[in-house]
Chains A and B, each alone.
Chain A
Amino acid sequence: MAEPLLSVRNLTVEFPSLHRIRPAVSGVSFDLGREKVGIIGESGSGKSTCGRAIMRLHPGRTRITADRMAFMGQDLLTLPERQMRAIRGHRIAMILQDPKYSLNPVMTVGEQIAETVILHERLPRRAARLRAMEMLEKVHIRDPERVMRLYPHEVSGGMGQRVMISMMLIAKPALIIADEPTSALDVSVRQQVLAILDELVTDSDMGLLFISHDLNLVRSFCDRVLIMYAGRVVEEIAAADLDRAQHPYTRGLLEALPSLTEPKDRLAVLRRDPAWEVGA
């Protein structure tokens, strides 16, 4: 397939404010096919802003410009809000860090999933319930009957994240944008959620944009990695080659990370070079 799923060229996002006019994201370009692409960066690097800009989820005064921001051939920048709404949550799904804020607190999990089924597949209520159960099984929830009766505050973080994933699967999206989906989860649960995402990308032929600050995680989970610093992509590299990264910032990050397998007595301290900000 020649046409990538998502193609972004020279994306710039600016938040107009009194103090600073420096763009949050500037000149970001990448292509994403049916693969797992990671965006790594520290806080304030613009990685989350990138993900939101693709969904056009920004407050009114934000300025998003790009030479090209195409999803399956459609230009996301010029699309009217009506059609954008059809894409959001249907063709492109988003997973956020904390499922508690994304689920409706006064509806049971089962009702919320069924609601989505009714919206998308126009099934009668009884059939929607069965379908919801099926979706929960798909994300490896062992006791879907019980989970469906729970309210969001009664489910654990990992369970909530799985419920979120099952809900967005109903719409059969082509692209998932996951913004720190496992940062709030414990190690054991994290593996399961990642395995589910992995399975979906491989089996259902989806694309995944995985935004994270965790180098080890992205390195082992994704196919390709973009490293962002101060709103720019400073390096793009295959995840397996991360150890051979060229950019001093990427190298600095890797060396600053304490490692279990290769213990260091002292961690290298990152020396920030102002040249990185203007795109060296």
Chain B
Amino acid sequence: MIEVKDLHVSFGANHVVRGVDMTVAAGECFGLVGESGCGKSTVLGAIAGRVKRWQGSITAAGSALRPERRTLAQLRLQQMVFQDPFGSLHPRHTIGRALSEPLEIHGIGDREARIEQALDRVGLPRRFRFRYPHQLSGGQRQRVAIARALILEPKVLLLDEPTSALDVSIQAEILNLLKDLRQQQGLTYVLVSHDMAVVAHLSDRIAVMQNGTFVEVAPRAAMISGDLSHPYTRMLREGSLGYRPTEKEAL
């Protein structure tokens, strides 16, 4: 579904992504983990079209993407869900307006029914469409953001830390929702997160990034059992399990 070959991204003198290759099959969930500044969000941004300057090649559903310009059809194919549910919705647009915008842009009719269906799918009451974002909780806003991404019926959902701004109990609800939606609609996910447990929960395969490159791509089972080859991956995994007093000697 998505094929990335030798992707390089530089911001000025800062070479953020240094040669990334990845292939994501249709219906797969591909996870990207790494620490801050490793380039994981930049890779996602390049696929989404948010990052506009890159070298290499990205193909989505068989059509080659260009860095600067994309067709509406290419944009419609993949939609993004952002980290911060407070910043990703326009504060002066009602939920209904936020959901009808993408439909208007793409000239899709039957908007009323589609908006109601989208709210149903993410488990929000239909009357929420008259509300403004500030009248919703963080979890509800993230549901709206997911509904907005899905309303164009994309094949691919690009998830940029979709739960890291949420509390544990809300995170569980959103992760369940994402899992269900993928099953029901056969979506392909690319998930970026710093939280290894979250990535392992959703993803089939997980790429570990450090300094702009993949150090290891491991299947979910390996991440859970700890059968990993790269020391950096092992360190990340250990770290996400909690505090290890043995670290003291490592200092």
Q: What is A's interface to B at a CB cutoff of 8 Å?
A: 42-43, 140, 186-188, 190-192, 194-195, 198-199, 213, 215-217, 219-221, 252-253, 256-261, 263-264, 266-270
B242 surroundings in chain A (CB, below 8 A): 216-217, 219-221
What count of chain B residues pass the 8 Å CB interface test?
34
The closest CB in chain B to the CB of A140 belongs to B251
Q: How far is the CB of B244 from chain A (nearest CB, A)?
A: 7
Q: Contact at A191–B169, with CB atoms within 8 Å? A: no
Q: Can you list the 7 inter-chain pairs with the closest CB atoms, starting with the nearest?
A: A220-B242, A187-B239, A256-B172, A267-B172, A258-B201, A186-B35, A270-B169
Contact of B247 among A194, A216, A217 (CB under 8 A): A194
Q: Contact at A188–B201, with CB atoms within 8 Å? A: no
The closest CB in chain B to the CB of A254 belongs to B168
CA distance A253 to B168 in the complex (A): 7
Q: A188-B35, A213-B168, A268-B172 are in contact. Are A221 and B243 (CB under 8 A)?
A: yes
Q: Contact at A261–B224, with CB atoms within 8 Å? A: yes
Contact of B240 among A43, A187, A252 (CB under 8 A): A187
Q: Contact at B35–A257, with CB atoms within 8 Å? A: no
Q: Contact at B223–A260, with CB atoms within 8 Å? A: yes
Q: Contact at B200–A220, with CB atoms within 8 Å? A: no
**What would 21 A/B residue contacts be, using CB atoms closer than 8 Å?**
A140-B251, A186-B35, A186-B36, A187-B194, A188-B235, A195-B251, A198-B245, A199-B248, A213-B167, A216-B240, A217-B242, A219-B242, A220-B241, A221-B243, A256-B171, A260-B196, A260-B200, A260-B241, A261-B224, A263-B201, A267-B201
Q: Contact at A195–B176, with CB atoms within 8 Å? A: no
The closest CB in chain A to the CB of B237 belongs to A260
Q: Contact at B239–A188, with CB atoms within 8 Å? A: yes
Q: Contact at B172–A260, with CB atoms within 8 Å? A: no
B251 surroundings in chain A (CB, below 8 A): 140, 192, 195
Q: Contact at B224–A260, with CB atoms within 8 Å? A: yes
The closest CB in chain A to the CB of B232 belongs to A188
* Residue B175 interfacial (CB < 8 Å): yes
CA distance A225 to B224 in the complex (A): 27
A253 surroundings in chain B (CB, below 8 A): 168-169
A194 surroundings in chain B (CB, below 8 A): 243, 247
Contact of B243 among A140, A191, A259, A270 (CB under 8 A): A191
Interface centre among A42, A187, A263, A264 (most CB of B within 10 A): A187
Q: Contact at A42–B168, with CB atoms within 8 Å? A: yes
CA distance A194 to B236 in the complex (A): 15
Q: Contact at A266–B179, with CB atoms within 8 Å? A: yes
Q: Contact at B243–A217, with CB atoms within 8 Å? A: yes
CA distance A260 to B235 in the complex (A): 14
**Chain B, 186-221, CB within 8 A of any chain A CB:** 194, 196-198, 200-201, 220
Contact of B172 among A188, A221, A261, A269 (CB under 8 A): A269
CA distance A194 to B197 in the complex (A): 20
CA distance A190 to B35 in the complex (A): 11
Q: Contact at B239–A257, with CB atoms within 8 Å? A: no
Q: Contact at A257–B244, with CB atoms within 8 Å? A: no
CA distance A252 to B172 in the complex (A): 10
A195 surroundings in chain B (CB, below 8 A): 245, 247-248, 251
Q: Contact at A191–B197, with CB atoms within 8 Å? A: no
CA distance A140 to B198 in the complex (A): 31
* Residue B227 interfacial (CB < 8 Å): no
Interface contacts beyond A253-B168, A258-B200, A261-B241: sample of 8 additional A-B pairs, CB < 8 Å, sorted by A: A43-B167, A187-B35, A191-B243, A199-B248, A256-B171, A261-B224, A267-B201, A269-B169
Q: Contact at B239–A267, with CB atoms within 8 Å? A: no
Q: How far is the CB of B219 from chain A (nearest CB, A)?
A: 13
Q: Contact at B176–A220, with CB atoms within 8 Å? A: no
Contact of A258 among B169, B175, B194 (CB under 8 A): B175
Q: How far is the CB of A40 from chain B (nearest CB, A)?
A: 9
Q: How far is the CB of A262 from chain B (nearest CB, A)?
A: 9
A260 surroundings in chain B (CB, below 8 A): 196-197, 200, 223-224, 237, 240-241
Contact of B176 among A186, A215, A257, A269 (CB under 8 A): A269
B237 surroundings in chain A (CB, below 8 A): 260
CA distance A269 to B237 in the complex (A): 25
* Residue B101 interfacial (CB < 8 Å): no
B36 surroundings in chain A (CB, below 8 A): 186
Contact of B197 among A188, A199, A259 (CB under 8 A): A259
Q: How far is the CB of B95 from chain A (nearest CB, A)?
A: 22
CA distance A216 to B197 in the complex (A): 11
CA distance A42 to B243 in the complex (A): 20
